[in-house]
A and B are shown apart, each in its own frame.
Chain A
Amino acid sequence: MSLSSRNAPSPVAGAAHAPATGWWRRAGFLSAVGQAALVAGVCLAGWWLYGNLVENLTRTRIPTDFDFLTQPTGFAIPENFGFDPDLPIWRMVLIGVQNTFLAGLVGVLLASIVGLVVGIARLSSNWLVARLAQIYVEGFRNTPPLVVIVFFSFAVFSFGPLPVFPEALDLKLPGSASNWLVLSKSRIGIPSLSAERHTGLFWLLVLFGAAASAGLWVWRSRRHVRTGEPHHRVLWSLGVLAVVAVVAFVSLGGPYDWSWPARSENGRRLVSGFGTSAAYLSLTLALALYTASHIAEVVRASILAVPKGQSEAAGALSLSPFQRYRHVILPQGLRIAVPPTINQYLNLVKNTSLGTVVGYADVTNLTRTSIGNANPAPQSIAVLMGVYLVFSLVISLLLNVYNRTVQLRER
């Protein structure tokens, strides 16, 4: 503390007293000595701690190197994700990273959407909407995320004492034998697409359609600027894309078909459709809803930070409420919202580590299991922390670059 501040007044003190002071009392010398002492102290402390660690590890016969990373994991997990006990531990870490990424990405997307909607709803002129949004925000924001995750996992999906979901549930499409939703103890199945034929060709055609619609977008925009006639670019581009996709789909004889979820004979597994684990679903949903409450507050504050005159001026131009938000308020407000939202994204990604409680195979859970299998804890935790640091750094780097591009450049 005193070290850091000692040279603060140096411009004044140094200038006034420079001739009369000995070299050992100069701010530069003192700060150099102080810093050297501090660094030496920290290094010594670190060395002492590290020495203790190595000594204790050797005493308890725990390896002190990272060789365990190439050993087989020796355990299996219920969701397999291509996991088997012979895989080396570094592959296990990668699979965990992939699962963490999956939960984080979907969570971030969901949280952004819900947060944006709720944040705008909090400022609605409709009293009921604003109040409901407020209840949502205050309810989720002040509850521990872990409790929310456990609630989703145990109370909603697994045991279902909220009598919404009985123990196992198949929801049929009306008038057919196909299920559109299957809930079993820990799995949730939804319909998916199964590839039949010519899928590559289909996507190629869709790609062409996308290129065409992008061209149309540019053309319509330019024309709008030149002549002032309404551009309707969303309608044009999406229309062309949809037409191309439908024509391609029909003419290729149906490259994809629905795969309806169905239960296997013993009822424990899903044989078709897209199955996702209740652990994944409860983790992602809970985190998304929890973080959305924080993002909603950010959105609300940012919208309120836009000067009121902007909205009034937009009203005077007789823009509709939607246009007012879309073209005037949100572009200015969301710019303010970017930095705090980055923090919320980072929190969400870090909070995916709570999936270990509900048995989601994220990197924390897998590392924990591997430590339980007598792999050295310090190195494992070091790898784990490294993984999260990389996650945090990458996210904040990407979003800070984005932030720089959207921020207002002031003179």
Chain B
Amino acid sequence: MTATVPPADRPSGVGRAAPPRPTARAWARENLFNNRHNSALTVLLGAGLAMLAAYGARFLFVTGQWAPVRTNLTLLMMGTFPRAEQWRVVVQVYLLCAAAGLVWGGLTASSRDRAADADVPFSRARLRDGVRRWWPLFVLLAVLLGMTRTWLPLAFVASALAGGVVARRAMEALPEAGRRAGWFGAGVCALAGWQVVSGTGGIAWWWGSALVAAALVRITGNVRSEARWQPAARLALIAGAVAVVWAVYGRLDFGGVGWDDWSGFQLNLVAAAASIVLAFPVGLAAAIGRRSQLPAVRWLSVGYIELIRGVPLITLLFMGDLFLGFFLPTEDPLSKVTRAIAVMTLFTGAYLAEIVRGGLQAVPRGQVEAAWAVGLSAPRVLGLIVLPQALRAVIPALVGQFINLFKDSTLLSIIALTEILRIRESIHGQREFLVTGIAETLVFVAFAFWALAFTMSRESQRLERRLGVGER
């Protein structure tokens, strides 16, 4: 979380003289031509690489027929999302950018405070650092914007990014007390960003009340504040707040587009994100169950985990597509997308369970014994001692699992959901693109996935280093 305190092991220019930069000649001698084998390899590979690069560049800029992508850009991104409702996505992006900016600003501010406490110099992450870390995302954005025909998308993206930066600045400028409100604001922005698209109907009020309840639990449960709340009063307050939220949501119904109507790249993102969020409790329960001393619980967990991990996702998706609805009494009340997400949740739960189990095993036994010794009850040992340490250690692996799930969301095309790969296929059903640009559309799709997955994996590696997983 300490986003910008330079760790001691990295030469950051503070207190350590940078080694003199070698000349290009010396560098090449050291790294390319240090012995006969390497010289031969360098020359050979260099020639091959140059040829490949020339070929690639020619494909990208000269011979590549990008018209299928250019013409169908919106289709690829949003699929059949109702065009009249597009404003919802626009508002969503603004809100999510604001939320991301607030979170980023909050992280920067707290690490600045911590650096001040520890009396170490602090250098604030600049936009330049962001570009260096997330350049694939910016390249993807540039490609997308380069293919649009109007200026509107450029203005939109620029203003959304600017909004995020402003939110970050504002969060940083806030005093510590105000920052808590900022964090709450980030939550509200994220929630509103989700609901402006999906609408406030259905069970959406759950999300709102869960957020409010969590905030209230945090505020009223603050041990340090003088006015400690009585449990009954806390419960009443939370119940009342939830009731208010419920009432508000009941009145405030302004339509929306459920995930059944989402498609294109948007569906890939939503399916992956929804599945991993929904799978988390499943995986947590299965992981704890697998380490339980109760044989029934353990065997049930092991059965679930190993059964799911032993079969490919595609067989489970077929199950979801063909007869998942048959397990329920009424005649198939679930939509196709819902069934697919349910199956992906089931699938991811098993993998998350194994990841979380790894984290649980990494918690030293002495921690648990110490917690017993101070007389904590079993749920509290788990909630206060074990899980915080275990989950912190597995965050990078969780990101890795999300990347896998995101890549696996292409499998939805096999059960005829219109995610991006399916849309690509349908593009080549259009008369003018029957045989043109088959490689080009695939390259585009692959690049879109690559840019996001690569950025996430680099961030997770960064996080791993920061958290010092496996080093303490």
Contacts and interface: CB of A to CB of B under 8 A. Distances in A.
Given A56-B326, A392-B310, A7 B293 contact: yes
B97 interface: no
B446 A143 contact: yes
B310 A4 contact: no
Contacts of A161: 435-440
A147 B414 CA distance: 12
Q: At the interface, is chain A mostly helix, strand, loop or mixed? A: helix
A6 B378 contact: yes
Given A5-B288, A126-B31, A128-B45, A141 B457 contact: yes
Contacts, number: 193
A371 B438 CA distance: 30
B307 A389 contact: yes
A42 B300 contact: yes
Interface stretch (A149-157, A239-247, A328-336): A149-157
Interface in B106-138: none
A38 B421 CA distance: 42
Interface in B268-300: 285, 288-289, 291-297, 300
B378 A5 contact: yes
Interface size band for B? 35 or more
Interface string B297-314: 100100000010111111
A353 B319 CA distance: 14
A356 interface: yes
B445 A127 contact: no
B217 interface: no
A364 B314 contact: yes
Given A7-B293, A381-B319, A385-B311, A144 B439 contact: no
A2 B294 CA distance: 11
Interface residues of A, number: 65
Main secondary structure of the interface of B (DSSP, over half): helix
B442 A147 contact: yes
Nearest to A142: B453
A168 to B, nearest CB: 15
Given A353-B315, A377-B322, A381-B319, A9 B378 contact: yes
Interface in A90-148: 125-129, 132, 138-139, 141-148
B381 A356 contact: no
Nearest to A379: B323
Given A356-B414, A371-B322, A1 B288 contact: yes
Contact of B442 (A42, A53, A150, A350): A150
B382 interface: yes
Interface in A348-384: 350-351, 353-354, 356-357, 364, 368, 371, 377-378, 381, 384
B292 A381 contact: no
B66 interface: no
B49 interface: yes
Given A129-B41, A350-B311, A357-B414, A4 B294 contact: yes
B87 interface: no
Given A125-B38, A126-B34, A388-B312, 6 more contacts: A4-B289, A5-B288, A129-B38, A132-B45, A142-B457, A161-B436
